[in-house]
C-alpha cells in the first residue's frame, strides 16, 4: 500500500537551533517528492520538489535530501525562526496513477 | 504576487444539501486540483483537472463530487448531497504545468487559503 510516514509527529526547538524532519515512503512507482509548509488554517506552501535523480535541494534555510534507494527523505531547517512554527508535510507523487500521497506532517514549534 | 483565491472562507450546510465551493486559480495556470483536510488529519488528494476534463481522481472522489470550469477564471467543486463526513477544509491549487508522464518532470502547485465546510 502506498504510504508516507513522517517523524517526529511534533517537535519543539529554541529559536536559532537547527532541526531535521524525516519522511519514509513506500510509494511505488515514484515520480517526485515534495516538502510543504502549512501554517495553521492556511493552505500548504511548497518548499522543495525533488525527482528520483536529485538527492538534495535547498530553498533558503530549508534543505531537503532524498535517498531513492532507501525511500527516505529529510528536511533540515537551519537557524530556526519563530515564523518556522508550522506543520511540515512530505508528499510523494506516484508516476503510475499520478496521485499525491500525503504524510501526516510534523508539527514544529519554535520558542523564543 | 498572484495567488489562488477561494470563496467562501466558511460554508455551513445541512446534511443532504448541495454545496459549490469556488476557486479562482492563478491566471496563467492550466492545471487545477482539489484537496481536502479533515480536522486533525492529513491532506488528501481529490482530483486534478486539465483542458476541461478530469486527469486523475482519488477513491474519495465518487459520484457525489463533480468539478467544473464554468468560465475562464473559476474552478468549482460541487458536492451533490453532503454528508456529515464531508466536513473538512477544502483546498484548491493550481499549477502552470502538469506532471509529465516521463521521468524527471514535475510542477509546482500553489494552494488557496481553503474553504472550511461544516455539514450539520
pLDDT digits (tens, 9 = 90+) for B69-108: 988 789 999 999 999 999 999 999 999 877 654 444 567 8
Read off the pLDDT of residues A31-69 as tens digits, 9 standing for 90 and up. Answer: 889 999 999 888 999 999 998 888 999 999 999 999 999
Q: Are B44 and B61 in contact (CB under 8 A)?
A: no
Give the separation between CA A26 and CA A48, rounded to whole angstroms: 20
- What pLDDT shows up at residue B104? 46
Give the separation between CA B76 and CA B6, rounded to whole angstroms: 10
Give the separation between CA B120 and CA B117, rounded to whole angstroms: 10
Residues in B touching A95 (Cβ below 8 Å): 101, 103
* CB atoms A95 and B103 under 8 Å: yes
Q: Mutate which of A9, A35, A37, A43 to test chain B, going by most B C-beta atoms within 10 A?
A: A43
* CB atoms A31 and B106 under 8 Å: yes
β-bridge mates for residue A48, sequence order: A35
Residue of A nearest to B116 (CA): A41
Residues in B touching A106 (Cβ below 8 Å): none
Least confident of A49-53, A90-94, B13-17, B84-88: A49-53
Q: Decide if pLDDT at B28 tops 90.
A: no
Is A29 within 8 Å of chain B by CB?
A: no
Q: What is the share, in percent, of chain B residues with pLDDT greater than 70?
A: 93
Is B13 within 8 Å of chain A by CB?
A: no
- What pLDDT shows up at residue B60? 93
Q: Decide if pLDDT at A91 tops 50.
A: yes
What are B98's three cell numbers? 502538469
Q: What is the share, in percent, of chain A residues with pLDDT greater than 70?
A: 97
Give the separation between CA B20 and CA B11, rounded to whole angstroms: 9
β-bridge mates for residue A37, sequence order: A45, A88
* CB atoms B108 and A45 under 8 Å: no
- What pLDDT shows up at residue B108? 83
Mean pLDDT of the region B38-57: 92
Selected residues 77-106 of chain B with any CB under 8 Å from a CB in chain A: 89, 91, 93, 99, 101, 103-106
Would residue B80 be called left, alpha or beta, if left means φ above 0 and alpha means ψ between -120 and 50 degrees? alpha
Amino acid at each position: 500500500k502506498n504510504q508516507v510516514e513522517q517523524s517526529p509527529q511534533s517537535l519543539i526547538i529554541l529559536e536559532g537551533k537547527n532541526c531535521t524532519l524525516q519522511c519514509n515512503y513506500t510509494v511505488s512507482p515514484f515520480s517526485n517528492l515534495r516538502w510543504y509548509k502549512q501554517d495553521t488554517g492556511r493552505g500548504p506552501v511548497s518548499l522543495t520538489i525533488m525527482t528520483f535523480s536529485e538527492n538534495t535541494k535547498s530553498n533558503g534555510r530549508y534543505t531537503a535530501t532524498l535517498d531513492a534507494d532507501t525511500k527516505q527523505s529529510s528536511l533540515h531547517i537551519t537557524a530556526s525562526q519563530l515564523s518556522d512554527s508550522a506543520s511540515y508535510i512530505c508528499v510523494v507523487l506516484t508516476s503510475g496513477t499520478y496521485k499525491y500521497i500525503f504524510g501526516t506532517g510534523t508539527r514544529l514549534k519554535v520558542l523564543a | 504576487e498572484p495567488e489562488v483565491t477561494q470563496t467562501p472562507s466558511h460554508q455551513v450546510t445541512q446534511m443532504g444539501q448541495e454545496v459549490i465551493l469556488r476557486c479562482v486559480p492563478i491566471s496563467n495556470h492550466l492545471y487545477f486540483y482539489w484537496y481536502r483536510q479533515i480536522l486533525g488529519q492529513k491532506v488528501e488528494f481529490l482530483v486534478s483537472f486539465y483542458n476541461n476534463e478530469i486527469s486523475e481522481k482519488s477513491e474519495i472522489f465518487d459520484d457525489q463530487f463533480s468539478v467544473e470550469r464554468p468560465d475562464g477564471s473559476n474552478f468549482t467543486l460541487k458536492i451533490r448531497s453532503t454528508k456529515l463526513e464531508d466536513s473538512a477544509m477544502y483546498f484548491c491549487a493550481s499549477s502552470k504545468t502538469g506532471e509529465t508522464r516521463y521521468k524527471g518532470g514535475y510542477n509546482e502547485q500553489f494552494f488557496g487559503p481553503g474553504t472550511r465546510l461544516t455539514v450539520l
